[in-house]
Structure 1
Amino acid sequence: MTVSILIFLPIVAALAVLILKNEVAKYVALFFAVAELGVAAYFLVNFIPNATTQFVIDAPWIPKFGIYFNAGIDGISMMMVLLTTVLVPIIILSTYEHTYKKASAFYALILFMQAGLLLVFTALDGFLFYVGWEAALIPIYFICALWGGENRIRITLKFFIYTFAGSLFMLVTIIYLYMQNPTKTYDLMEFYHLVLSPTQQSWVFLGFFIAFAIKIPLFPFHTWQPDTYTEAPSAGSMLLAGIMLKMGLYGALRWMIPNAPMGWDKWYNVIIALSVIGVVYGAIIAFTQKNGKRLVAYSSISHVGLIAAGIFTMTRVGVQGALIQMLSHGINVVGMFFVWDIISRRYNTLNSNELGGIAKVAPKFATAFLIIVLGTVALPLTNGFVGEFLLLNSLYMVNIIVCAVAGLTIIFAAVYMLRMYKNVMQGETNSLTATFTALAGSEKLVLAIICILIIGIGIFPGPLMHISQASVDKLITTVNNRVMGLSIPQ
């Protein structure tokens, strides 16, 4: 079995969902999302945790122009495949208490987006990677524009312009690498073997960086993010923060740094500095937020800034920490947005100042919310702790002062998250919060799954790290050898 089934199954599912009546659409969408998770589980069980790329498909697509449908899974991309296939069914299930106009189109767009995301995370051809990148952008644009808040058109257009402009820089960079390739293909490994001058690599690095920095987003390319996360429907916010921003982080690992290692060697200090500024900036702005979704949005800027900083250290501990933290952040941020979705549907507000005492009327909900908060603030034995510990360790290897500043994210996050939890859940109930509609079965199931993942990964992170270890070692060796002008491993 090749990775093609993982890419095309969501497309087939989306087409099937489109022709169904609205009430049936969500059940069929969830069925196919769980089936996709089953396919990913099959690949995981049969995956050999070494540095090779497995389940490869390499078929001519437009061979006249050197374009092949070339995709596969190694340890790094396996982590992203797991992230995508685990979160999509959770996100679909989280929408069960909503009623959407044209629901069949809504769920079909989610499945189309899943196909684009998986294409990005498995592509081994530059043109194919770009197709997946854009294929993931288009569905989320329509999800936000059609089902978002009252300012959705203006905000979503800003998001689209930002990300599409960044994509153009990436496309130009990919075409440039193609033109430098004697074999005139977009094959990733052929790109890795190109002999480019330091100046050429610096421009290649910056071309990729603009696209990836916008998608992540890194400071100061972040201005589209808070408004978009706030105005998007809850499922859209989960897709954007839980999975889509990881495209930029993954792109840096797979396409930017290995293709331009001398560019990385020249610019990594600057980018680590920008990432750490984003860590502090996002946390400070989160302090002032009363809107729950905006608080989560700025918190996300802070957390992904730390992930990016760890990636650009190009150390084993930094990259491993980044991969497990991408997975953990996705789970936690989906949980946070879902909690605020539950609150918003019951009280018609996202303002934490208008809430209070919910724990008295909904203790089980409050307990689940607390577990998600503790995972977000990286309490030991939760999933957030594992990645943040490794990431801070990698920054310590680079610069102890940078590590200390970045480490403020743990303190800041604990303050603003626990304060938010206190305002919303503790204290006395008021006229608004005195009653709480009982959690539906789908809501209980989503919260239970998220809490189990938070605790499970926090206690047993080893198996996940083992999946990516060999591929991470190979990546770091490739980059270091290219910086020193040595041949890269096959």
Structure 2
Amino acid sequence: MLTLFLILLPIAAGLITFLVGDRLAKQVALIGGLAELALAASVWSQFDPSAGIQFSFRYNWLASGSISFAGGIDGISMLLVLLTTFLTPLIILSAFGNNYKNTASFYALILFMEAALIGVFTATDAFLFYLFFEAALIPVYFLAAVWGGENRLKVTFKFFIYTIFGSLFMFVALVYLYYQTPGAHSSEIRALYGLQLSPLSQGFVFWAFFIAFAIKMPLFPFHTWQPDTYTESPTPATMLLSGIMLKMGVYGLIRLLLPIVPEALGSWGIVAVILSVIGIIYGSIIAIQQSDMKRLIAYSSFAHVGLMAAGVFSSSANGLQGALIQMLAHGINVVGLFFIIDIIYARTKTRYLDQLGGISQSASHLSVYFMILLLGSVALPLTNGFVGEFLLLSSVFHYDHWLGAIAGLTIILGSVYMLRLFQKSMFGPKSKWVEGFQDLTLKERAVLLPLIIMVFWIGIYPNTFLKLTEPAVNQLLTLVK
């Protein structure tokens, strides 16, 4: 039942936030987000990584079709529940410095999206997974369309069409798999793992799932919606998209694609890895050329997710463990970086590197926080990004030496665009845009400090999280091999 409470609590908090009105909305939303985090921490304290799925619930949804409203938590789910519940209150708090119209609706949508994300990561019924997968799209669509930049309607429409189009492929594949289950049919995800499908059927399911999840992450060449959406969305929505929502796609690869169609993975996995590696290099090169700080981080995120996907498709323990720990690290780093860019924009009214410079002269604390998050993003040893990136590159190299060597260029390219970002904005002579720049406020430090703690926690003692997911990963790999 605790899993069900994790889904219902942010829905209830979102409704209360909407009903209390604009004056108290942000405070109520923050309380709701912190209550969800406390509940997740309680679940973690009771969780046994070696015991499989725990805290399950099941209710008849469509009884005649044996489709249930069912969920539970294993180690993989637990990690992503912790990421979601940790980042959401920080995202809510980060928005306190901005005055959004219809405040109650804005914060309620964040909480509704949190509920949908938790639903995706804990669903044990395939159609319930699909329901939450689609439900997560609705709040972020309105956040971007109502509170985004001047091109928001065009950009969010493209985002909506892309993701709906991809999800239809997944829905068709799930319906097909449902009718392949014996007897009265079942949509339980674990019931789909044991299906004996023909090579042609496996190929169809592989590409249907791949397109759906590749769009959501996104992977090359399904990424064209991402930079514009990240740039035009309000920063809290961008944080949700990059910090948590893209993880739904990687999670879908791990939870559905790998164990359901392992034979197709042997046939088509190399194509998926090649596309992922192309995305790593392409995203990094484009990031180097960006002047808009927000757009630069958007392409950086695109490159990082390419490496995660390549690790997943290597179908190795290092690849899956690396992808999971990198999802955690990337979520922390990218939320922090987008928040720092929002702080700079709020004080200077620009995000362009050629208009900035010299910020470190009047904002030493901001400079330190910025540098730590940046070093985590470029995978400096003893920071959170190093563990996942090392495991991922190792897995891709063992899968194919040449692809591993090419993917390894992400270390050099990532350092180039990230250090360029820091140098252009923080060093050099002060530009007219940064005159009177103020250092971090107490609220801004309250958002950044937990992120910094996690950068070092994951980097110095990664076993906290690797041991959490290891039994679930090993069990899943028995279905793939």
- TM-score normalised over the length of structure 2: 0.99
2:313 aligned partner: 312
Cα displacement string for residues 247-271 of structure 1 (whole angstroms, at most 9, x for unaligned residues): 0000000011111111111111110
Q: How many residues align?
A: 480
Answer yes or no: is the 8 Å Cα contact 1:51–1:75 preserved in 2. Answer: no
2:75 aligned partner: 75
Answer yes or no: is the 8 Å Cα contact 1:58–1:69 preserved in 2. Answer: yes
1:485 aligned partner: none
Answer yes or no: is the 8 Å Cα contact 2:364–2:439 preserved in 1. Answer: no
Report the CA distance between 1:437 and its aligned residue. Answer: 2.6
1:381 aligned partner: 382
Does the alignment pair 1:27 with 2:27?
yes
Answer yes or no: is the 8 Å Cα contact 1:51–1:474 preserved in 2. Answer: no
Answer yes or no: is the 8 Å Cα contact 1:201–1:262 preserved in 2. Answer: yes
Answer yes or no: is the 8 Å Cα contact 2:178–2:185 preserved in 1. Answer: yes
After superposition, residues 123-142 of structure 1 pair within 5 angstroms as 123-142=123-142
Cα displacement string for residues 312-371 of structure 1 (whole angstroms, at most 9, x for unaligned residues): 001001100100000000000001100110011110001011000000000011110011
Equivalent-residue separation in structure 2 for 1:119 and 1:262 (angstroms): 29
Amino acid at match of 1:172: V
Equivalent-residue separation in structure 1 for 2:186 and 2:252 (angstroms): 19
Report the CA distance between 1:199 and its aligned residue. Answer: 1.2
Answer yes or no: is the 8 Å Cα contact 2:366–2:439 preserved in 1. Answer: no
Report the CA distance between 1:179 and its aligned residue. Answer: 1.0
1:363 aligned partner: 364
Answer yes or no: is the 8 Å Cα contact 2:362–2:439 preserved in 1. Answer: no
1:150 aligned partner: 150
After superposition, residues 162-177 of structure 1 pair within 5 angstroms as 162-177=162-177
Measured on the aligned residues, the alpha-carbon RMSD in Å equals: 0.9
Equivalent-residue separation in structure 2 for 1:449 and 1:190 (angstroms): 40
Equivalent-residue separation in structure 2 for 1:21 and 1:88 (angstroms): 20
After superposition, residues 60-459 of structure 1 pair within 5 angstroms as 60-182=60-182, 183-459=184-460
Report the CA distance between 1:51 and its aligned residue. Answer: 5.2
Equivalent-residue separation in structure 2 for 1:71 and 1:466 (angstroms): 22
Cα displacement string for residues 261-284 of structure 1 (whole angstroms, at most 9, x for unaligned residues): 111111111100100000000000
Amino acid at match of 1:406: A
Give the 3-state SS of the residue equivalent to 1:305 in structure 2: helix
Equivalent-residue separation in structure 2 for 1:454 and 1:335 (angstroms): 10
Give the 3-state SS of the residue equivalent to 1:455 in structure 2: helix
- TM-score normalised over the length of structure 1: 0.97
Give the 3-state SS of the residue equivalent to 1:269 in structure 2: helix
Gaps of 5+ in 1: 481-490
Equivalent-residue separation in structure 2 for 1:2 and 1:421 (angstroms): 43
Cα displacement string for residues 175-226 of structure 1 (whole angstroms, at most 9, x for unaligned residues): 1111111232211111112211111111111111110000010000000000
Answer yes or no: is the 8 Å Cα contact 2:60–2:69 preserved in 1. Answer: yes
Distance 1:145 1:22, change over 3 A: same
Report the CA distance between 1:416 and its aligned residue. Answer: 1.0
Amino acid at match of 1:177: L
Equivalent-residue separation in structure 2 for 1:416 and 1:200 (angstroms): 42
1:49 aligned partner: 49
Report the CA distance between 1:434 and its aligned residue. Answer: 2.4
Amino acid at match of 1:191: L
2:469 aligned partner: 468
Report the CA distance between 1:245 and its aligned residue. Answer: 0.4
Give the 3-state SS of the residue equivalent to 1:254 in structure 2: helix
Report the CA distance between 1:427 and its aligned residue. Answer: 1.1
Equivalent-residue separation in structure 2 for 1:473 and 1:431 (angstroms): 56
1:486 aligned partner: none
Cα displacement string for residues 402-442 of structure 1 (whole angstroms, at most 9, x for unaligned residues): 11110111111111110110110011112221211342221
Q: Which runs of 4+ in 1 moved over 3 A?
A: none
Equivalent-residue separation in structure 2 for 1:27 and 1:371 (angstroms): 29
Equivalent-residue separation in structure 1 for 2:435 and 2:112 (angstroms): 41
Equivalent-residue separation in structure 2 for 1:188 and 1:292 (angstroms): 41
Amino acid at match of 1:115: A
1:484 aligned partner: none
Does the alignment pair 1:17 with 2:17?
yes
Equivalent-residue separation in structure 1 for 2:51 and 2:150 (angstroms): 48
- Percent identity for Structure 1 against Structure 2: 52
Equivalent-residue separation in structure 2 for 1:33 and 1:236 (angstroms): 15
Equivalent-residue separation in structure 2 for 1:334 and 1:477 (angstroms): 34
Report the CA distance between 1:398 and its aligned residue. Answer: 1.1
Give the 3-state SS of the residue equivalent to 1:381 in structure 2: coil
Report the CA distance between 1:380 and its aligned residue. Answer: 0.5
Answer yes or no: is the 8 Å Cα contact 1:51–1:471 preserved in 2. Answer: no
